[in-house]
């Protein structure tokens, strides 16, 4: 059983992260709405800069992200690598992926209740509950992220498919159907599961837990490299990527890109934060073992609004909607999900 606690405060450092929620496909009208009402300087993104304790795991960063962007932890989430890094690490094949399960990737049979082992909110302030989750010392008590457990799960999966009928990609079968409906995919070969590519496996069987979700017990600072730092494409050496991707609510498809910054010079030069404020934030991270927001660009979003596109429609409705009753009802609905236009200072967000 995984039961790791991180409590060496003497070795703590403050690590600077940049988190960006972005959509590259907005038209000019959508950008104008986010610029005017969403307090975005670019019209296509909402971002946060935070300092975190160097021992913070991905699991606890998730709870901080929920608070930073205004969500209420009401949907599924996962951390993944950029596709090119994932393909390089695994070699695009089942063998390469299975070697990294329990080291970098979650087990394919990871149980949902285990991933969310400490999601025990029942009532009261969701903000207070989240704060307890992203404040150290950090302990991870999920069972299935234990290396031996995960590798045993992989062993069972391989033994289950000593020989597998490999199906053609779904797109190929759709092309053959010529728009006449779904037809049965062709069997293109038979082979042991361990000898297949990841695409061949995913075309042929349903891997319940997927293959690319990162272990949440991993420390954020260890997984991420600085922008100019070399990454180690090796099963047991970190860092492995310059970017982390956080996915939340797979229906609304919120996507945040996370990078690790070497310093805060740019924020200081642009007067987004003063030297005194930065020193105060660093002290809070180290003495209170909790993250601190040092810069915020863009308002809070909310759950169940339809992603960034839906959020822009929401902003347009509450600020420009012609039907006063509809505008009022929309605001009441948003407030029921914890959304507020109230300004909050950066240091009080977390």
Supply the pLDDT for residue 173.
Answer: 75
Give the tens place of pLDDT for each residue, 19-76: 999 998 999 999 999 999 999 999 999 999 999 999 999 999 999 999 999 999 999 9
Q: List the domains of the chain with CATH numbers.
A: 4-144+210-349 (3.10.290.30)
**Mean pLDDT score, 92-99:** 96
Question: If you average pLDDT over every residue of the chain, what do you get?
Answer: 91
User: Residue 33 has what pLDDT?
Assistant: 96
Task: Give residue 7's pLDDT.
Answer: 56
pLDDT digits (tens, 9 = 90+) for 288-332: 999 999 999 999 999 999 999 999 999 999 999 999 999 999 999
3-state helix/strand/coil string of the chain: CCCEEECCHHHCCEEEEEEEEECCCCCHHHHHHHHHHCCCCCCCEEEEEEEEECCCEHHHHHHHHHHHHCCCCCCCEEEECCHHHHHHHHCCEHHHHHHHECCCECCCCCCHHHHCCCCCCCCCCHHHHHHHHHCCCEEECCCCCCHHHHHHHHHHHHHHCCCEEEECCHHHHHHHHCCCCCCCCCEEEEECHHHCEHHHHHHHCCCCCCCCCECCCCEHHHHECECCCCCCCECCECCCECCEEEEECCCCCEEEEEEEECCCHHHHHCCCCCHHHHHHHHHHHHHHCCCEEEEEECCCCCCCCCHHHHHHHHHHHHHHCCCHHHHHHHHHHHHHCCCCCCCCCHHHHC
pLDDT tens, 177-229?
Answer: 676 666 778 888 999 999 999 999 999 998 887 899 999 999 999 999 999 99
pLDDT at 47: 97
- pTM listed for this prediction: 0.93
**In this predicted structure, which of 143-147, 270-274, 308-312 has the lowest mean pLDDT?**
143-147
pLDDT reported for residue 1: 44
Check whether 176 has a pLDDT greater than 80.
no
Q: Give tens-digit pLDDT for 221-253.
A: 999 999 999 887 665 679 999 999 999 999 999
């Amino acid at each position: 059983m995984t039961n790791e606690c991180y409590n060496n405060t003497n070795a703590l450092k403050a690590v600077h992260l940049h988190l960006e929620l972005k959509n590259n496909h907005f038209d000019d009208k959508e950008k104008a709405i986010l610029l005017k009402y969403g307090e975005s300087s670019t019209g296509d993104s909402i971002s946060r800069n935070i300092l975190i304790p160097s021992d913070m795991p991905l699991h606890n960063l998730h709870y901080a992200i929920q608070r930073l962007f205004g969500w209420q932890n009401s949907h599924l989430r996962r951390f993944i690598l950029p596709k090119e890094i994932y393909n390089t690490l695994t070699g695009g094949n089942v063998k390469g992926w299975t070697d990294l399960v329990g080291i970098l990737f979650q087990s394919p049979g990871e149980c949902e209740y285990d991933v969310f082992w400490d999601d025990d909110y029942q009532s009261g302030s969701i903000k207070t509950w989240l704060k307890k989750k992203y404040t150290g010392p950090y302990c991870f008590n999920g069972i299935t992220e234990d290396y031996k457990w995960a590798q045993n799960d992989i062993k069972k999966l391989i033994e289950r498919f000593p020989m597998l009928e490999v199906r053609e990609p779904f797109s190929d079968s759709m092309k053959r159907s010529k728009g006449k409906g779904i037809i049965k995919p062709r069997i293109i070969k038979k082979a042991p599961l361990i000898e297949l590519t990841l695409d061949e496996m995913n075309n042929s069987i349903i891997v319940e837990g997927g293959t690319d979700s990162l272990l949440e017990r991993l420390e954020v600072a260890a997984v991420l490299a600085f922008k100019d730092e070399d990454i180690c494409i090796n099963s047991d050496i970190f860092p492995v990527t310059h970017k982390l991707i956080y996915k939340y609510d797979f229906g609304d498809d919120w996507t945040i890109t996370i990078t690790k910054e070497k310093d805060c010079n740019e924020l200081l030069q642009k007067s987004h934060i003063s030297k005194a404020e930065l020193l105060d934030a660093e002290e809070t991270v180290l003495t209170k073992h909790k993250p601190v927001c040092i810069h915020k660009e863009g308002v809070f979003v909310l759950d169940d609004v339809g992603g960034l596109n839906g959020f822009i429609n929401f902003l347009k409705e509450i600020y420009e909607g012609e039907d006063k009753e509809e505008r009022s009802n929309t605001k009441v609905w948003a407030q029921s999900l914890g959304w507020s236009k109230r300004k909050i200072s950066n240091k009080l967000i977390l």
